[in-house]
Homo-oligomer: A and B are copies of this chain.
Amino acid sequence: MTLRAQRVLMEADAIVYDALVPQAIVDMGRRDAERLSVGKRKNCHSKSQDEINRLLVELGRQGKRVVRLKSGDPLVYGRAGEEMAALREAGIAYEVVPGITSAFAAAADFDLPLTLRGVASSLIFTTGHDLTGKVLPDWASLAVSGATIAVYMGRTVAASVAERLMGAGLAADTTVAVIENASRADRKLFHGILKELPDLQARDDLDGPVMVIIGEAVAGANFDKSEPLSAFHAGTPVRETAGVE
């Protein structure tokens, strides 16, 4: 977290926070600050975006100093655009405090270069989800050689992502790094190749937020602390079979 984020948090009268924000950070504000959880954990939307916008406006109108606390950076997949529009419409002043988005947190956790001279000169942030949460947006054409791709919330769409990228011409053996719980103590790194990415969807041992990073820039990283991405290679089923043989 940044010094600036810490400062505004300490000054807040009210803290409106997402489910993904660690409790230790929510606790950092003043002891007497009002704390309002607005959910947004998958399958557990305790408040709609409209309700959150109205809540922020209402708290602002009460003259409170409000911190809208999110995990990552608010301007990328953080709905800050919608919340800023609601505040502007209501005539309530605000400022945006940048944060470490989860692709960068994940990359720093495990020393994964996102660009690399002569290998990757572009980086693409994308998501498997569109507006309705159902269909993948048409970003397969982004899969050009030499770009690193970071897929936010990519677990449940891993198979479609792999299919689209390979369909667009990305090599089936392109390096894939999958990071669960980036920046948390229980973070985990998985590695494999693009054609194994669909296996991610079948894994039921991951329940934290997942970041998928695809591209040869990460190929040179140190995967010593990682587990294989593909359950097929992951050990347990193979050892069981070995016992039978």
Interface residues of A (CB under 8 A from B): 1-3, 6, 73-77, 79-82, 84-85, 88, 94, 96-101, 104-105, 107-108, 111-118, 121-127, 129-131, 137-139, 141-142, 144, 146-147, 217, 220, 222
A97: B residues at CB distance < 8 A: 108
A108: B residues at CB distance < 8 A: 73-75, 96-98
A146: B residues at CB distance < 8 A: 137-138
A222: B residues at CB distance < 8 A: 88
Chain B min CB distance to A153 (Å) = 11
**Shortest beta-carbon contacts, A-B, top 5:** A81-B113, A98-B108, A123-B125, A122-B126, A81-B116
- The answer on a CB contact under 8 Å between B98 and A122 is no
**Residue on B nearest A78 in the bound complex, by CB:** B115
Main SS of chain A's interface residues?
loop
Docked CA distance A80–B115 (Å): 9
Docked CA distance A175–B225 (Å): 43
A73: B residues at CB distance < 8 A: 100, 104, 108
Chain B min CB distance to A157 (Å) = 12
- The answer on a CB contact under 8 Å between B98 and A98 is no
- The answer on a CB contact under 8 Å between A81 and B220 is yes
A104: B residues at CB distance < 8 A: 73, 75-76, 98-99, 101
Chain B min CB distance to A232 (Å) = 29
